Structure 1
Amino acid sequence: MAAIGAQAGGVGVSLELLLALLALGIATGFLAGLLGIGGGMLLVPFLTALLQAKGVAEALAVKMAIATSMACIVATATSSLRAHHRRGAVRWDLVRGLAPGVVLGGLLSGAGLFAVLKGQVLAGGFAAFVGVSAWQMWRGAQPRPSRTMPAWPGQVAVGGGIGLLSGLVGAGGGFASVPFMAWCNVPIHQAVATSAALGLPIAAASTLGYVISGWNLPAALPGAWGYLYLPALACLMPVTVMMAPWGAKAAHALPIAQLKRAFALVLAALAAYMLTKAL
């Protein structure tokens, strides 16, 4: 912890900001394991606010928050995936079908669309897609019993859409992949675990895209590299990795209905916050 504080302090991160990042990491890591969401839907709004408080213009703050969030998800998703895999809940057949499209979509959004879209547009897109997912999960509408996951070409196409949206809004994909798999009659605990597995290729591909698109971007503040805010990564990564297994343990202990409602409430709150940023 002292090492993290020294590293962060070297680039101008105050003790107050350090404590806020550590608290954010605890909450993010736990929710990532609990809901299979990667943590970006919590990280993006709060990192946006923190960066604006340090004087970063709002449009750039949103982009930096999204990119930094996705880089952090590489570690968080790895930790969450290991915890769910040990419980045998990951549907690896679905991961193999969705992952190729996820990687392509993440690269396309991170290296292309992300750099040209305005921050307000990204915030609005984040709010819209997360809000729709929240409504679907809260309703608890039961899909037709005959509905199943599409064949491999369809899974690649769906994965591409999930990767594209996730890369644009800095989320691990759970806001789209969990509701979609549940709509296709994949049990919610398996959907959450499989979403955690998909979060890793989404995050890795999108982060590579952000590095490419922000390579020559002037540093917005000390410690920034392109779209990435390195002090936040140094604070968040160790804590999220530590907390994700605890969230995964709680997910498998909760009844299905409670897990869906918890997912919906988190999504709704974050959608509302980002909508205010977009407007």
Structure 2
Amino acid sequence: MDVHFVASGFAVGLLVGMTGVGGGSLMTPLLTLLFGVTPAVAVGTDLAFASLTKGVGTFTHKMRGTVHWDIVRRLCIGALPAALLASVALKHFGTLNKEMGQIIRYMIATSVLLTVIALLFKRTMLAWITAHPERQLQGAALRNATILSGAVLGILVTISSIGAGAIGATLLVMLYPRLSAAEVAGTDIAYAVPLTAIAAVGHWWLGSINWTLLLTLLIGSLPGITLGSYAARAVPEGLLRGLLAVTLVAVAAKLVYS
């Protein structure tokens, strides 16, 4: 068992527990840049990792009553078919060849930058939506926008393993500003379980999951998430998110220019 992977899993789990940012935006670039794991295998392994950890989180939120299943259903209507189509496209074009690997690197970098935007401007966007209630979508328009958001997230998550965390939560805040923070988190995690599971199965079909690596990461991440959750209140959220945003921008630049 490689202690470096255990330590990496612990570090990512710690940050996820403290910030609430999806592990994909941290784990996938880490595997790709630091350990030289091919982009396709990094994405596939992280998706399997996410489906297992988010499953535990969904059970907790379900018990607390913080999951809006009608919103989960709408997101899944868009996300699950998109994930299947993206998996078929990856199979057709070949996930393990050099050219496709570079495209996946660019997709990871794009998703990381979207995560940074979500981190930095989530509150600003929520304040704007709250101040302009006439701009809030209702009825069929809201349903269709939710399904479309799910489809976009389904493609992003399948190709890059990033998007179901901070980006998904930000979209939920903009579409459903009346949800509490706990309801946003619970709903975001709940729809991400079938999405990451289907995307992970697609990558298993493609042969791009390293099961030994997955187990090693889980050994480190589970205690990390637990400790991070307890430590979250002791660290200023603004400082932590600012440092995380700077780190992710550097990661995205490295992915594009390396």
SS of 2:60 mapped into structure 1:
helix
Structure 2: distance between partners of 1:70 and 1:247: 21
Asked if the contact 1:110–1:167 (Cα under 8 Å) also holds between the matched residues in 2, the reply is yes
Query: For each residue in 1:148-182, what CA deviation from the matched residue of structure 2 results, as whole angstroms up to 9, or x when unmatched?
Result: 57533332221111111111111261132111112
What's the counterpart of residue 146 of structure 2? 155
Query: 1:244-259 residue pairs with structure 2 within 5 A?
Result: 244-245=225-226, 247=228, 259=237
The partner residue of 1:106 within 83, 86, 89 is: 83
Asked if the contact 1:76–1:244 (Cα under 8 Å) also holds between the matched residues in 2, the reply is no
Evaluate the alpha carbon distance shift between residue 102 and residue 276 of structure 1 in structure 2; reply closer, same or farther with a 3 A threshold: same
What's the counterpart of residue 270 of structure 1? 248
Q: TM-score, normalised by structure 2?
A: 0.78
The partner residue of 1:176 within 160, 167, 174 is: 167
Evaluate the alpha carbon distance shift between residue 167 and residue 266 of structure 1 in structure 2; reply closer, same or farther with a 3 A threshold: farther
Which letter does structure 1 place at the counterpart of 2:154? G
What's the counterpart of residue 54 of structure 2? 77
The partner residue of 1:202 within 174, 185, 195 is: 195
Asked if the contact 2:44–2:200 (Cα under 8 Å) also holds between the matched residues in 1, the reply is yes
Structure 2: distance between partners of 1:137 and 1:204: 25
Asked if the contact 1:81–1:196 (Cα under 8 Å) also holds between the matched residues in 2, the reply is yes
Q: Which has the higher helix share?
A: 2
Evaluate the alpha carbon distance shift between residue 51 and residue 111 of structure 1 in structure 2; reply closer, same or farther with a 3 A threshold: farther
Instruction: Confirm or deny that 1:233 pairs with 2:220.
Output: no
What's the counterpart of residue 41 of structure 2? 64
SS of 2:190 mapped into structure 1:
helix
Deviation at residue 270 of structure 1 after TM alignment: 2.4
Asked if the contact 1:66–1:170 (Cα under 8 Å) also holds between the matched residues in 2, the reply is yes
Evaluate the alpha carbon distance shift between residue 172 and residue 72 of structure 1 in structure 2; reply closer, same or farther with a 3 A threshold: farther
Count of residues paired in the alignment = 241
Structure number with greater CO (CA < 8 Å, separation at least 6) is 2
Instruction: Confirm or deny that 1:144 pairs with 2:116.
Output: no
Structure 2: distance between partners of 1:109 and 1:260: 35
Deviation at residue 86 of structure 1 after TM alignment: 3.8
Asked if the contact 2:104–2:159 (Cα under 8 Å) also holds between the matched residues in 1, the reply is yes
Which letter does structure 2 place at the counterpart of 1:108? L
What's the counterpart of residue 30 of structure 2? 46
Deviation at residue 65 of structure 1 after TM alignment: 0.8
Q: Which runs of 5+ in 2 are unaligned?
A: none
Please identify, of 119-128 and 258-267, the stretch whose mean Cα deviation from structure 2 is larger.
258-267
Structure 1: distance between partners of 2:225 and 2:203: 24
Structure 1: distance between partners of 2:182 and 2:243: 17
What's the counterpart of residue 218 of structure 1? none
Asked if the contact 2:58–2:189 (Cα under 8 Å) also holds between the matched residues in 1, the reply is yes
Asked if the contact 2:111–2:163 (Cα under 8 Å) also holds between the matched residues in 1, the reply is no
Q: Which runs of 5+ in 1 are unaligned?
A: 6-17, 215-225
